[in-house]
Amino acid sequence: MAANILLVEDEPAIQDLISMNLRQAGHSPIIVSDAGEALEKVRDTLPDLILVDWMLPGMSGIDLIRRLRNNDRTRSIPIIMLTARADENDKLAGLDSGADDYITKPFSIRELNARIKAVLRRRAPQITEDKVIFKHLTLDPSTHRVNASGQDLNLGPTEFKLLHFFMTHPERVYSRTQILDQVWGDHVFIEERTVDVHIRRLRAALESTGTASLLQTVRGAGYRLTAIA
């Protein structure tokens, strides 16, 4: 799936090169030139991944990453650092600040795309095209198909996104607010009861296949997809 990728880079030539190739890879780049602009962007909408240059005007990329990691709302955003600083101590400093990966300039676009894909698969699997299998459920994002206990299911787009999120994050309990942020998107103002409505619809679709019990309500906490049903 296409990812919204925030690129924090102050060199126009590198901005153009990376943004062009991100679009060719199917992603939607958002370009800013400094850390202040980046913080303004994430206040509006959370990106799926951030590419950060180390040497930025004003606040450095390292300090920007620390700011993002120290904020509950932004701490889980996948981040890749792009920098000309190739010393091992610099790399360790970048990773210690909270970056998920560290790529030294110059780098090939193929390498960048591969690193982006790897980080998204590890940190945000719900926005990848990888087929997901959990117990008797199989979901294929590329074809938008779901099979449960050998039966094909016809899910609406929101129920499909809900199931995809739970299947890529099994056994963990998510509150209604967390589900709204992850499935509907950050800064989308919808009542929490909307989650309950779509959970009921998803369970109804799973009922005939005997898999509805995998999606559990955790009283006072939220919902989870579990193998222990």
Q: Please give the domain boundaries of the chain with CATH numbers for all domains.
A: 4-127 (3.40.50.2300), 132-225 (1.10.10.10)
139: helix, strand or coil: strand
Sign of CA dihedral 132, 134, 135, 139: negative
The helix or strand, by DSSP H or E, that contains position 42, with its residue range, turns out to be helix 35-44
pLDDT at residue 142, rounded to an integer: 86
Sign of CA dihedral 160, 165, 170, 172: negative
**Sequence-ordered list of residues with C-beta below 8 angstroms from that of 67, at least 6 positions apart, any chain:** 35, 39, 59
Report residue 53 as tokens: 């240059």
Ranges of the chain whose pLDDT falls below 70: 1, 186-188, 229
Burial of residue 155, with CB atoms counted within 10 A of its CB: 0-12 exposed, 13-18 middle, 19 or more buried: buried
The pLDDT value recorded for residue 78 is: 92
Give per-residue pLDDT as tens, 69-99: 999 888 889 999 998 887 888 888 888 999 9
What is residue 180's predicted lDDT score, i.e. its pLDDT? 87
Burial of 56 (0-12, 13-18, 19+ CB in 10 A): buried
pLDDT at position 17? 92
